[in-house]
Structure 1
Amino acid sequence: MNTSSPLSSLSLRRRPKPGLSAFESLLDLLPAATLLVDTGSLRILLANSMAAQLTGFTRGELNNHSLGALFPTLEKGWLNANPRRWNLALTPPNRRNRQVIDVQVTASLLDTKGEFALFSIETVSERESRDAEQLRQQQVWEALHTLALAPQQADIDSTLKQALQAGSALLGAPLLAIFQAEVSHLVLDCSAICGPAEMLPDRLPSSELVILQKPHLWKRGKRTLSSLHRAARASNLAYLASAPLGEPNALIGLLVAAGEQVSPDENTLPVVEFLAEAITSILQENILITNLRQSLQDYRRETMITSAVRDASLEGVITIAPDLTIRDLNPSAEAILGYASREVHNQPYQKILIGADNIIPPFLTEQPGVNIHNSGNVRLYRRDGSAFLAHVRTLPIMDEDRLESLVVLIQDLSQEEQYRLQNQQLEQRAILGEVTAIFAHEVRNPINNLSTGLQLMALNFPPGDSNQEVVTRMQQDCDRLAELMKSVLSFVRPVEYKMESVDLDKTLRRLMERWRPHLAKVNIKHMFQVESGAPQIEGDPRALEQVWNNLINNAIQAMSKDGGTLAIKIRTITTTDHTPRVEVSI
């Protein structure tokens, strides 16, 4: 019985490990001179072609060569150094070029045990060139970053200044300037400059845009083409590069770069063109932003005026969206309807404008181009449920052929209705005044006749006759009726009061004597109380007598059934502001 495994009959192949030839090919891919070194014996195992070119050896001669022979100054403890980078002197053997080369050597271990190391060799001049190139690249990137951030400055002058500083770093040119066209004067003004301003003119003729409409590089000793070139020659500049700003058919200026000592290279003009395009974009963006700001300012001003007019309008203004929901109300609409604008926002207009079915007819939302719809006088309802008459108009607001919103104008006619009623009352009062005036004139004539007759009767009675008192009271009644007629006439014409000194004690006692017979009939006694020292007052005696008569008459009517006592008191009082007053109570 055969017990051997079937796998024992299979021949296993292992992938061969890479040899030194493979490593040598890899070393050739490295850009610097490189050596593969055995760290134990300090022997060179492999070298790439760049190492052979640097040392003057062939690759075969470098193989198994002593590392110490090439770098005599390499310290013994180099394996433990950190970092493993040294500035050494590369010394070729006697049979080769004996010139000592200053190099920088960097060692990198290839394995964890540290048995093999790669030595990268770079001459000091190469390193300095590389560092200079890296520095230059860093400066270019920083300049490009500065140029990209220029539009973020607060104003156009700061933006152009930063752009020119970035351009100076890109070109290595000490002088850059921007000349912009001034249409009103047909010249090019220097709007921004970086460097000594005295080397370039402040203003150029507009013909420079025609001569220098394409990028151009002038060098010292060459023929001048324009006044700008002549100014550069007069300032002893080594070169002057220019590129137009703007579009080919709409130039707006020139970008100028110049230097006194450094000669331009082949990249100078392309970089100037690039900067001109960047600055053109900045200027165009500034023009666009300026126009947008002006448009925004105009829009805000128009909006402010519209809002002020809308808020000050006595008509209620309701803005309604195309879906027939309310957007807002102006203050007059809030006062008319009793709603706050925030309360009705996005509410269907039918819930607010209650009582009108045809305020917004369908054709306003379906047919564009309709100017205004007049709904006429409509009875609407306020929030508290009260009805009022209003004149309603609806205005569609169109955006081209699209309905943007609807504006409903409401004029509250309730005040006009009140004014109409008041006018009716005034007309009625005017008619009543005319009738009253006629009546008063007709009544005054008989009263005057009675007064004249009483005066004649008084003359016919002897002085001590008891009838004299009766005639006197009748004469006073006639006078009182005459004053009542004057009061009636005051309904239709203003009253002119005649102010004079009035003794309240005598006036009221005389008035009570006139009322005494009537008081006796209704079983009313009267009592008169006057504070001693009560002063006289200023007033119209007839008007005051009318007031006292009205008060006495009211008191008599109140006590006419059961009788009573009518008390009249006159006293002096002092008000809170220490002003003396006379109080009469009936």
Structure 2
Amino acid sequence: MRTGSLPDLTAIFKRSPGRAEWAFLFDLLPSAALLVDLRTHQIHLGNAAAHSLTHFSVGQLSGRPLNEILIELTPQALAKSFSANKTSWHTPLRAGSGRPARIEVSAHHLGSESDFAVFLLQPHRGSSLEDEMLAQRFQALPVLAGVPRQPDLRAAILQALQAGQLLTGATTLAFYQIDSDHQRLCRKYIWGLAESLPDELPLNEAENLRVTYTWQPGARPFSELHRCAQTQDFAYLASTPLDPQAAYDGILVVADQIGDPPDHFESMLELLASTIGVTERHTRTVRVLESKLQRQMQTMSQTESIQDVVNDALLFVTPALVVTDLNAKAEALLGYGQDEVHGHPLTDILITSRPILSEIQEILANPAPRDLGNLRLTRRDGQTILVHLRLKPYLMGQAIQRLAIVVTDLSREEQFDRRTQQLEQQAQLGELTAVLAHEIRNPINNISSALQLISMTLSPQDALQEEIQRMQGDCERLEQLMRSVLSFAGSRNYQMDALELNHFLQALVPRWRSRAARTGAEIRLHMPETEYSITADRIAFEQVFTNLIGNALEAMSAPGGIIGIRVGPCDQPGEENLVGIDVSDTGPGIPQDMADKVFAPFITTKLRGTGLGLAITQQIVNAHNGRIDLESFPGGTLFKIKLPIRHENKPL
């Protein structure tokens, strides 16, 4: 770049020449030149060529900040360029006429120890400033179009101000908006040299700035902004509201200290203000929608969490009675999955013993919660269960948004009531049976005694002796039956004490070995090394094992049968404090139709059995807080008893 020749001024500079000498020397330079104080970044002096180029007089140039003439050469830009050893630039010039040309600038220090530098200015041989401004306006269009796409309002407004600078060429842009306490207008955003504008404005300024207006020197200032522009020696200051009907929404301010406003300036301002206003309203609308969406998401999340924790089945339907949602309890109760019922009519899913459609329609007409009471519901598998129905409408304004149907499963309560009724009937039957058994035992004893007397009066060879023995056997079986009935039906006081299972079974089993040997059976006892202790009535548990071992021996009619008794810990989760006692045999097993009711009273597979042995066994085990279960299969039967382990610190 041609900068012209610069004479060696070091010697003169050391002599501290006066201003007239500097002016004379500068006028000798062939190029426009500015003497700049690098400490203050102010123009100290300009030559005649600089006056011709900038259209500013020597007095107007003196004392003016350099970046007011050379916009891009701010103190920060100069410091960055000098640190990179850059001393030439291609930059626009702000001329006093308002129609300058683009120039080329080079900087020359006046000695290594000097704080002054000479900036030589030459017109750019390329396009004019008007061409540059037109190019800038084309650059502004995509910048302005991208404003609504910014992620937040601050970035959007700053980008709009940047586009405004490209459009107008102004150096000062600001955006004022009412503060949070509605007391004043605050300068929220700035671009360029807007620090010279006031930070705050009185609230009544909004009324003075309701229309687009451009103030220039000579016009009467009627706003705080105009007075500030007059004090700061601005060439013009323009303002426009985002919305003429609501100036408090925001005011855009564009100003410059040099030159006149470009053509179509106020149209550019209104375009900028309109873009900022639309973006602000869009951002505000998005925030409101995001807030509503967040609340709805929270409501949905809370609803889903509530749906998952409530014990009732929940169905949600539209006012058109179309299913939109149901919780896991409803899926289990009705037998339908979420995807299967979504969008289907409620009447296809909720099939009840009495019509409820008319009652639902009444709620839709007059929204209010309603209790439909108890009724029977048909599940997907055809099973009918007792439920309780409640309806709850959810409103948005005055209209129903959706209807919640709460279904409470009463099948367990119904079963409990039925079982309670059965137990009450059984208790009454037990009392009656005990009375009858007691009353029957006396005649049986009398008949048995009479038969003994008759037998004694007859000779042993008498033909009636055989019939008498048969009748006495029948009396003994009836007596045994009555004792079992009284044992099952009557209340029993258990004498609880510590019972060591190993010692108990090791003493009990040998008493059965001789009887087992007579039938060709074997009893095998499997005891652990650990001694398990329970809290039990010894006599009652002797009856339990008498029933189980006796039944097993009777079931194994063929020789070679094996009865196994095993004691050990329970291995199921939650059964760590239980001990298991298994009693098995290798008999034919119990038919499946009998296995389901083997513990019921008067149920037996033996020709001469009473059907009360296993019922009494279960009664005893239950009284000891235990349980007994049956596993039967062809070739064997297994009774599994589980009882609480006794701990030493546990009271009897």
Deviation (angstroms), 1:566: 11
Q: Structure 1 residues 422 and 493 mapped into 2: Cα distance closer, same or farther (>3 Å)?
A: farther
Q: Contact 1:360 / 1:394 at 8 angstroms: preserved in 2? A: no
Q: 1:258 to 1:495 in 2, by over 3 A?
A: farther
Contact 2:496 2:537 in 1 (8 A): no
**Is 1:285 aligned to 2:282, yes or no?**
yes
Structure 1 residues 380, 169: CA separation in 2 closer, same or farther (over 3 Å shift)?
same
Secondary structure, aligned partner of 2:276: helix
Q: Which has the larger radius of gyration?
A: 1
Aligned equivalents of 1:573, 1:418: Cα separation in 2: 35
Q: Normalising by structure 2, what TM-score?
A: 0.49
Per the TM alignment, residue 528 of structure 1 is displaced from its structure 2 partner at its CA by 10
Aligned counterpart, 1:202 = 199
The Cα RMSD (Å) is: 5.3
> How far apart are residue 331 of structure 1 and its match?
2.0
Distance 2:352 2:567 in 1: 63
Determine the C-alpha separation between the residues in 1 that align with 2:530 and 2:295.
73
Is contact 1:239–1:258 with CA below 8 Å preserved after alignment? Answer: yes
- The question of 1:239 aligning with 2:236 is answered yes
Q: Tell me the equivalent position of 1:172.
A: 169
Q: 1:509 to 1:244 in 2, by over 3 A?
A: closer
Deviations 1:57-105 (A, max 9, x none): xxxxxxxxxxxxxxxxxxxxxxxxxxxxxxxxxxxxxxxxxxxxxxxxx
Structural mapping, 1:95-114, within 5 Å: none
- Quote the residue 1:188 is aligned against: 185
Q: How far apart are the structure 1 equivalents of 2:381 and 2:509?
A: 57
Distance 1:569 1:296 in 2: 69
2:389 pairs with 1:392:
yes
Superposition pairs for residues 165-564 of structure 1, below 5 Å?
165-184=162-181, 186-220=183-217, 223-265=220-262, 267-321=264-318, 324-361=321-358, 364=361, 368-369=365-366, 371=368, 374-394=371-391, 407-424=404-421, 496-498=496-498, 507-508=507-508, 537=531, 539=533, 543=537, 546-548=540-542, 550-552=544-546, 554-556=548-550
Read off the aligned partner of 1:204 and give its amino acid letter: L
Q: Give the Cα–Cα distance (whole angstroms) in 1 for the partners of residues 403 and 563 of structure 2.
A: 72
How many matched pairs? Answer: 403
Q: Deviations over 1:455-483 (max 9, x none)?
A: xxxxxxxxxxxxxxxxxxxxxxxxxxxxx
Which residue type is aligned with residue 497 of structure 1?
Answer: D
Residues 272-291 of structure 1 show CA distances to partners (whole Å, capped at 9, x for unaligned) of 34423332232223222222
Q: Write the distance in 1 (CA, Å) between the matches of 2:180 and 2:529.
A: 92
Deviation at 1:571, TM superposition (A): 11
User: 1:504–1:537: 8 Å Cα contact kept in structure 2?
Assistant: no
CA contact (8 A) 2:566 2:582 kept: yes
* Shift in Å, 1:417: 1.1
Supply the AA of the counterpart residue of 2:287.
T
Q: Offset at 1:342?
A: 1.4
CA displacement at 1:359 relative to structure 2: 1.9
Report SS of the residue matched to 1:213.
Answer: coil
- 1:22-50 residue CA offsets vs partner (Å, 9 max, x unmatched): xxxxxxxxxxxxxxxxxxxxxxxxxxxxx
Q: Deviations over 1:398-449 (max 9, x none)?
A: 777877655443222112213324555676799999999xxxxxxxxxxxxx
- The one-letter code of the counterpart of 1:256 is V
Runs of 5+ unmatched residues, structure 2 = 1-124, 434-483, 572-579, 586-652
Q: Which amino acid aligns with 1:383?
A: R
Shift of 1:505: 9.4
Cα displacement (A) at 1:554? 4.5
Q: Name the structure 1 match of 2:59.
A: none
CA distance, structure 2, for counterparts of residue 197 and residue 288 of structure 1: 29
Deviations 1:546-570 (A, max 9, x none): 5455434554566579899999999
Contact 2:495-2:536 at 8 Å conserved across structures: no
Instruction: Please give the alpha-carbon distance, in whole angstroms, between the structure 1 residues aligned to 2:569 and 2:207.
Output: 100
User: 2:498 is aligned with what amino acid?
Assistant: K
The whole-number CA distance in structure 1 between the counterparts of 2:380 and 2:281 is 56
- Tell me: CA distance 1:323–1:264, structure 2 relative to 1, closer, same or farther (3 Å): closer
Q: Would you say the 8 A contact 1:328–1:342 is kept in 2?
A: no
Cα distance in 2 for partners of 1:543, 1:291 equals: 74
AA aligned opposite 2:162: Q
What TM-score comes out, normalization by structure 1 length? 0.54
Contact kept in structure 2, 1:322 and 1:365, CA below 8 Å:
no
Distance (Å, rounded) in 1 between the aligned partners of 2:504 and 2:363 = 82
User: 1:354 is aligned with what amino acid?
Assistant: I
CA distance in 2 between counterparts of 1:410 and 1:528 reads 55
Bigger drift between 309-318 and 279-288 goes to 309-318
Aligned partner of 1:161 in structure 2 is 158
Q: Shift in Å at residue 338 of structure 1?
A: 0.6
- Retained in 1: the 8 A contact 2:174–2:187? yes
